[in-house]
Amino acid sequence: MMRSSPLRLKQLFFPQVSVKTLVPPAPEKAARELDLDDLDISFAFDFDATGKIANAGVKIATKDKTAEALDQNNLYKVQIEAYANFEVVSPEHTDALAVYLRKFAAAAALIGAAREQIALMTARGPWGIVMLPIISMDRVVGPPPKQEVLAAAPIAKAKKSPAKPASETVGAMLEAREMTAARYGSAKELIDGPDKKAGKGKAGASAKKI
């Protein structure tokens, strides 16, 4: 029996996607994937008041260097922000491992989406496609909780998740939420709207049959 995912994706959007072409001395010898040492990666994750919706954001950007230093080793300079809203599966489970698995799943989804956008944008550049390499989740969300923490962690009792949003992208996440609310009317409408419409459609169909 297949286990359910710890999260279900509700909305995904990209407030910023930027790719700038650079001119290295030997582009034909340059690597076809971005160097992780040249990237700043930040990730934020938190829950709404009910614990049933999770919000996550990731920002990946080429580190600030002099133009000369960038041109020596890189084909492109990138900056991308990806944000998503997720429905939390089994929100009553708020132990350390459950929170970690949700953070892991959210980060993996957002980084995969960012990788696709970078490949799409660089495909239109003069040097062709450059990929975002595989990234260890320990580097993004930290290591999994220790065994003694798991043994002591209560299940289905905590009212709030211990997860805290990363300070580097809190401001950007708040701005992204405002953008989402402005686009869809409200965060609640964004989350519940499709389900309500589907419910109305079903109710109408039932009424016609009667």
* Beta pairing class for 7-21 and 39-47: unpaired
Is residue 192 assigned to a domain?
A: no
Q: Residue 121 is encoded by which pair of tokens? A: 């944008």
CATH of the domain at 103: 3.10.420.10
Q: How far apart are CA 112 and CA 109, in angstroms?
A: 5
Q: pLDDT digit string (tens) for 84-116?
A: 999 999 999 889 999 999 999 999 999 999 999
Q: Dmax over Cα atoms in the chain, in whole Å?
A: 74
Residue whose C-alpha is closest to residue 84's, from 45, 116, 142: 45
Whole domain around residue 107: which residue ranges?
Answer: 7-185
Give me the number of domains the chain comprises: 1
Confidence band for 172, pLDDT divided at 50, 70 and 90: low
Other beta carbons less than 10 A from residue 96's beta carbon: 20
pTM check: above 0.75: no
Residue whose C-alpha is closest to residue 44's, from 97, 7, 84, 80: 84
More confident residue, 110 or 192: 110
